Structure 1
Amino acid sequence: MNQDNQFQYSKSEHLEQVTVLNAAISDFSYGRHAHEEYSFGVTLSGRQDFFSRGQFHRSHPGNIIVFNPDEVHDGHSGVDDKLQYRMLYVHPDQLAPVFQAAGIKSQGFRVADTLLDDPQLCQYILHLVQLIESRSEDKLRQECELYQMATRIAQLYGECQADQKARRVDSLLLRARDFIHHNLQTDVSLEELSQQANLSKYHFLRMFRQQFGITPHQYILNCRINRAREDLEKGKALDDVVFDYGFSDLSHFNRRFKPIFGMTPKQYQKHFLNA
């Protein structure tokens, strides 16, 4: 890995399923992928160019990038200067009750904008990032910063809740998505998935790609990588992870993993276990 590209991951010791990425990249490009978490990023220097929700975006210093769960995106530095940014990943299970307490009632809330400029929200994100990176022992402060962040999002986007039904994913596609999540360690066919959605195979394929931005095969692979990442963080043997999630060998796993997390699975596991 080019030494000009640096990736530092930190997990909160007090908030479950909350992780921070401190990244500095020059010539690294993320492949298109999606996370199960909400992703809140702040560009610190350089320019962050990326694709999401069918459009190309450019994030300048101070801008906030938001990826809702399962939203496909990529990313790279858009200028000659090094791109530096922080990304905060928060699992929906962690954020849903905080959103609810902040005034957003519905489950599955989605932030309407991908790129925004809001100094107050930016401050809350960076405060929480700093607390996690410094391994602050102040659990209450981390919880309060997460709540303030969610409250600001509610202030900005809570009024959009009335429009959520119009943008809601078809329930049958969600059923197929849930079937994928529950069967990640088995080989599922397009026929099985289309049956979950009560659609013909190729109608399902078209609708799924239209909704999620990638094919069902790409989605399954992405989910397997995300689940494999969790097992690596827990210290599971690398060979077992490769086998459990259907990768042909470690080289195959490396090729799929590195374009998403900036390092090989072995480097990633060592990074967390030695933290």
Structure 2
Amino acid sequence: MGQSASRFQFTKSQHIPTLKVLQAAMFDFRYDPHAHEEYAFGVTLSGRQDFFSGGQYHRSPPGNVIIFNPDDVHDGQPGGNHTLDYVMLYVHPDQVKALFDDALGQETAANFRFDTTQVQDKALRERITEVARLITMATGSQIDQENALYQVVERITQLGGAFQPGRTSTRPDTLLGLAKEYIHAHLDSDLSLEAISQAAHLSKFHFLRLFRQQLGITPYQYVINCRVNAACSALENGASLSEVTFRYGFTDLSHFNRRFKRIYGVTPYQYQRHLIR
């Protein structure tokens, strides 16, 4: 394709709830720092994917696998002068928890986190692209797609010591957890830093410093990110653009479009058209 525009195509699995695929060709676009509620398993197909995550700058060459845990803050852009082509699977933790438990041979209360963002593994790369093929081509039965997704999860658990169940909660984790719970419970309200910091039992000054230090974005950026993610779910369930715009505190459709596109690469209208046929 010519190096003049970027394209993004979302496709939802017709069999597995919460599982969707992004096919992206990026040349003139850069994502704002953001996080998703889902796991994201991606493969760089061509070009180079440059992004900042987990306090580090990453460069993903062709064939590389990228893994983001839920709530991992990251940005992203093409590296060099070539179009970046990549594919990404998104799936909610609730959808794959039983698969991870089975692959590891143990049942736990916690979700799992992979502490290596990039992986060079041919088997995992092929399994991710196979899931993407089944979904984008709308081929295979439900059990075919479920098995393909299980193959991805199984390979991740086989990669060894980098994959660890849960994390020991520290006091900052606990306090910020209270703040995040408050934000999620009041996404359709007029949120303030004062109210959020009080929910975390911190002064506004200490809350701002701790939040930025631990998450890599400001509370304001996090609130916008959560509202956009909530808007995605509403759009997937058929809510109207006007309803979603005002429910989540965007001043008008133009404001909603601008914020949404910086995270998803497409407008809310385009996103809804991709996923609701």
Q: TM-score, normalised by structure 2?
A: 0.92
Q: What amino acid maps onto 2:25 in structure 1?
A: A
Kindly indicate whether the alpha-carbon contact (under 8 Å) linking 2:157 and 2:163 is maintained by their aligned counterparts in 1.
Answer: no
Q: Find runs of 4+ consecutive structure 1 residues off by over 6 angstroms.
A: 166-169
2:74 equivalent in structure 1: 73
Give CA-to-partner distance per residue, 1:174-202, whole Å, 9 cap, x none. 12212211211012222222222222222
Cα separation, 2, equivalents of 1:215 and 1:81: 31
Residue type at the aligned position of 2:72: E
1:157, 1:227 → 2: CA distance? 34
RMSD of equivalent CA atoms: 2.0
Task: Give 3-state SS (helix, strand or coil) of 2:154's partner.
Answer: helix
Summarize the alignment of residues 1-275 of structure 1 with structure 2, pairs less than 5 Å apart.
Answer: 4-103=5-104, 105=108, 107-157=110-160, 160-161=163-164, 164-165=167-168, 170-273=173-276, 275=277
- Distance (whole Å) between structure 1 residues aligned to residue 200 and residue 14 of structure 2: 39
Moved more, 82-91 or 196-205: 196-205
Identity level (%): 53
Give the letter aligned to residue 67 of structure 2.
V
Aligned amino acid, residue 57 of structure 1 = H
Distance verdict in 2 for CA 1:91–1:167, change over 3 Å? farther
Task: Provide, for residues 156-181 of structure 1, a one-character-per-residue CA deviation record: whole Å limited to 9, x for no partner.
Answer: 24575378327896222212212211
SS at match of 2:123: helix
- Cα distance in structure 2, aligned partners of 1:99 and 1:226: 24
Q: Specify the code of the residue in structure 2 equivalent to 1:210.
A: Q
Q: Which amino acid aligns with 2:100?
A: F
Q: CA offset at residue 135 of structure 1?
A: 1.2
- Residue identity opposite 2:32 in structure 1: G
Structure 1 residues 98 and 76, CA, compared in 2 at 3 Å: closer, same or farther? same
3-state DSSP of counterpart to 2:167: helix
Structure 1 unpaired stretches of 5+:
none
Q: Do the aligned partners of residues 108 and 128 (structure 1) sit closer, same or farther apart at CA in structure 2, a change above 3 Å counting?
A: same
Q: Deviations over 1:232-261 (max 9, x none)?
A: 222211111111011011111111111111
Q: Give unpaired runs (5+ residues) of structure 2.
A: none
| Residue deviations 1:116-143 (CA, integer Å, cap 9, x gap) | 1011111111111111111124111111
Deviates more, 1:161-170 or 1:232-241: 161-170
The whole-number CA distance in structure 2 between the counterparts of 1:159 and 1:34 is 21
Q: Is the 8 A contact 1:111 1:157 kept in 2?
A: no
Q: Aligned with 2:168: secondary structure? A: helix
DSSP-derived class of the 2:139 partner: coil
Q: Residue 156 of structure 2 contacts residue 163 of structure 2 at CA under 8 Å; is this kept in 1?
A: no
Is contact 2:110-2:166 (8 Å) kept?
no
Conserved? CA contact 2:112–2:166, under 8 Å:
no
- How many residue pairs get aligned? The number is 273
Q: Call closer, same or farther: CA 1:13–1:162 in 2, change over 3 Å.
A: closer
Question: What is the deviation of 1:149?
Answer: 1.3
What is the SS of the residue equivalent to 1:44?
Answer: strand
Q: State the AA in 2 paired with 1:23.
A: A
- Contact 2:115 2:162 (8 Å CA) reproduced: no
Deviation per residue, 1:83-104 (Å, 9 max, x gap): 1110000111112221111116
Give CA-to-partner distance per residue, 1:16-45, whole Å, 9 cap, x none: 111100111111111111111111110001
AA in 2 matched with 1:175: L
